[in-house]
Amino acid sequence: MRYSLIILFALLFVIPVFSQIHIVDVPKANYKERIIKAVNEIQIIDTHEHLATEESRLQIGKKIDFTYLFRHYAKEDLISAANITNKGLIEIIYKNDFPLLDRWELLKPFYRAMRTTGYGRIPLIAARDLYGVPDISDSTVELLTLRMQAANKPGLYENILKEKARIDLSIMDMGRNNFDKKFYRHVERFDNFLLISSASEIIDIGKQFDIKINSLDDYNFALRKAFLAGIDFGMVGIKSTLAYKRILKFKNTSKEKAEKVFKSLLEKSKVKSEDVKIIQDYLIHKLLDLVDEFDLPIQIHTGLQAGNGNTITNSNPTHLVNLFFEYPNVKFILFHASYPYGGELGTLAKNFPNVFIDMCWSYVISPSYSKRYLHEWIETVPANKIMAFGGDYDFVEAVYAHSVMARQIIADVLIEKVRDRYLTESEAIDIAKMILRENALRIFKLDSSLNPMVNLKVLNKPGPLHDWWEIRKTNEGFIKNWKVIGVFDYGIGLNQIYPPENEIQYLKNYNGKGGIVKWETENTLPTGYLNFISIFSKRNTEINPKAKGIAYAYAEIKSPNNRKVKIALGSNDGAKVWINNKVVYNIHAGRGAVPDQDIITVEFKKGINKILVKVENIGASWGLYLRIVDPKKELETIQFND
């Protein structure tokens, strides 16, 4: 008996015990079948593909054979399985010049080693479901080839993507092409603008857009011109794969530093790698400025890189944290479930309202990883922040096979959640609709009806909430041009008096946190957000703007007469406001900044009205929204120019 107890206690420590809190009632009979049916019936919005057009696929004609199912990611695992000594053989497998069965004999030993990986299961699913071949073997490779050749005709994509995979739309990452809108929308990359390291690269980009580039301003103009061309062509987002080339850590570099490096590049002077990073860091911020201005999401490759041999630590999503702070209104979509950084990804998506999870590619990387983290993310991350499928393949059979894996894993997770009484059946099905369809439609603005605020009755009936919403739903009235000074020590917060409260002298310098501080002109993001994190990280690299501190922002408004005016503000954290040297608002709070958190009525005089805002930072994010409610547009914001 004593030994039995010892073994029992040992097992308790060795074997993981999975338990779920029972929150809802026991599910009704046959809930598994209903959940599977519901998941399988959803018309997927596929968030990421690299598909060639059907026309180019059909041009292969009778040259297509069974090896087509082993291209892309399966090929990477074949190369890995071949090790060092045999990897040259893998290329031979795909060459039609050699007999089909001979190439199969070459493939067999490596296929045996990798057929159990996620990549290795894709050819099996495709052969079974699309071509009626239950296994790929000595006796079936010729039959599989014949059936693939017979199917390679017009209508192939319609049959596989629409009818078999039940994919409504796929978001393509294949550059600026004339994609069939029945099947696709597209994103565009601007990494070629960001990864410059030589004069020739700069000149080539200028030629592409018919711009002679003599300065950083010229280059920024070229970037904007390219971005606007993408907008005109209908891009629904931006894609970045910088993690293949460098670490995903982008400092907020001043224009002055970037100009110095850019000039050296143009002059073909010797530039150190750390200096090249300065210009790249600056340019990613310029790209994000455009993303913010035009309200597009940005897809960022995180986690495992494709291919054989990469630096995985470059792609840890936590490297991006400063960007999440600096661009709170940009939708950052973190790709590939950040494998193997699932815990970090979940934490980021939970903590940052502007961070979203995309599970494209993840099911074939590792089905168990995808299942484990989908379980966890359902518990930790709002379900409207998860997009659960992107095939991430360059041939349609693999997209179909990947969708089969994804639907099965999603259904399994939801069934287990219902079985364990964490979710109700209806909650589980609702999550499936969000993560496979609705979230992508909303985030990429493909269906405006999915905006939860559009048809909310409470916002349309008369009353104070309606009045607030009438202000909130517009982007009008924000003060976007300020004089800003900081950082000052936090001291006793809003009650700590600093010189700007006694005098506004633009030419004076003062002792601040980390050295001398002075007034400088700053423009907000297009959304009206004055981001102190971004401002002060550029001004003084020796201080941490996410730490406790105080900053002041000053603006002037010209009024044609004496009047009462509504001011709407939001701050992170608390704020104190003076209108013409009189305190009209003083709230100490630990909060995130959103527009129109508070609306106050103040007195404006005829002529120039002085607005001084003191904003405290208790820690992390730091910024200000302030707008003047001026429906008749009778008030004028005085513009500051350094």
The confidence score (pLDDT) of residue 20 equals 66
Q: How far apart are CA 142 and CA 148, in angstroms?
A: 10
The confidence score (pLDDT) of residue 18 equals 46
Is the confidence at residue 36, as pLDDT, over 80? yes
The per-residue pLDDT for range 5-21, each reduced to its tens digit, is 444 444 444 444 444 68
Q: How far apart are CA 577 and CA 604, in angstroms?
A: 14
The residue written with tokens 């004496």 in the block is 562
Range from 273-277, 307-311, 375-379 carrying the lowest mean pLDDT: 307-311
The confidence score (pLDDT) of residue 525 equals 81
If we measure between CA atoms, which residue out of 276, 272, 270 comes closest to residue 247?
Answer: 276
The confidence score (pLDDT) of residue 448 equals 77
Domain segments of the chain: what residues? 61-151, 189-234+238-295+297-314, 469-637
Peptide linkage before 340 cis (omega within 30 of 0): yes
Is the confidence at residue 2, as pLDDT, over 70? no
Is the confidence at residue 579, as pLDDT, over 60? yes
Range from 104-108, 305-309, 312-316 carrying the lowest mean pLDDT: 305-309
Range from 255-259, 450-454, 560-564, 617-621 carrying the lowest mean pLDDT: 450-454
The per-residue pLDDT for range 379-403, each reduced to its tens digit, is 999 999 999 999 999 999 999 999 9
- The CA-CA-CA angle for residues 74, 76, 79, to 5°, reads 110
Q: Given pLDDT bands bounded at 50, 70 and 90, which one contains residue 336?
A: very high
The confidence score (pLDDT) of residue 12 equals 42
What does the mean pLDDT of the chain come to? 93
* DSSP one-letter string for 547-602: SSEEEEEEEEEEESS-EEEEEEEEEES-EEEEETTEEEEEE-------TTSEEEEE
CA 620 to chain centre: 20
**Tally of CB atoms within 10 A around 23:** 10
Is the confidence at residue 133, as pLDDT, over 50? yes
Percent of the chain with pLDDT over 90: 83
Q: How far apart are CA 240 and CA 224, in angstroms?
A: 16
* DSSP one-letter string for 271-283: --HHHHHHHHHHH
The confidence score (pLDDT) of residue 15 equals 40
Three-state SS for 187-251 is: CEECHHHHCCCCHHHHHHHHHHCCCCCCCHHHHHHHHHHHHHHHHHHCCCCEEECHHHCCCCCCC
Cα torsion 210, 214, 218, 219: sign: positive
> Helix or strand or coil: residue 131?
helix
Range from 76-85, 93-102, 106-115 carrying the lowest mean pLDDT: 76-85
Q: Is 619 exposed, middle or buried (0-12, 13-18, 19+ CB in 10 A)?
A: middle
- CA-CA distances (angstroms) from residue 99 to 63, 102, 144? 12, 5, 15
CA 449 to chain centre: 22
Is the confidence at residue 163, as pLDDT, over 60? yes
Pick the CATH number of 469-637 from 2.130.10.10, 2.60.120.380, 3.20.20.70, 3.40.920.10: 2.60.120.380
Q: How far apart are CA 248 and CA 300, in angstroms?
A: 9
Range from 4-8, 66-70, 198-202, 313-317 carrying the lowest mean pLDDT: 4-8
If we measure between CA atoms, which residue out of 521, 559, 555, 533 comes closest to residue 626?
Answer: 555
Average pLDDT over residues 210-224: 95
Q: Can you read off the two tokens belonging to residue 252?
A: 């907020």
The per-residue pLDDT for range 492-531, each reduced to its tens digit, is 999 999 999 999 999 999 999 989 999 999 999 888 999 9
> Helix or strand or coil: residue 330?
coil
The per-residue pLDDT for range 582-628, each reduced to its tens digit, is 999 999 999 989 999 999 999 999 999 999 999 999 988 899 999 99
Q: Please, how many CA atoms are within 13 Å of residue 161, restricted to the half-sphere of its CB?
A: 24
**Tally of CB atoms within 10 A around 623:** 26
Q: Which is higher by pLDDT, 498 or 310?
A: 498
Q: Given pLDDT bands bounded at 50, 70 and 90, which one contains residue 327?
A: very high
Q: How far apart are CA 373 and CA 389, in angstroms?
A: 14
- CA-CA distances (angstroms) from residue 23 to 16, 110, 168, 421, 576? 22, 48, 35, 6, 44
The confidence score (pLDDT) of residue 641 equals 85
The confidence score (pLDDT) of residue 475 equals 84
Edge-to-edge strand list for the sheet holding 167-172: 44-49, 167-172, 184-186
Average pLDDT over residues 517-546: 90
The confidence score (pLDDT) of residue 14 equals 41
Percent of the chain with pLDDT over 70: 97
The confidence score (pLDDT) of residue 442 equals 96
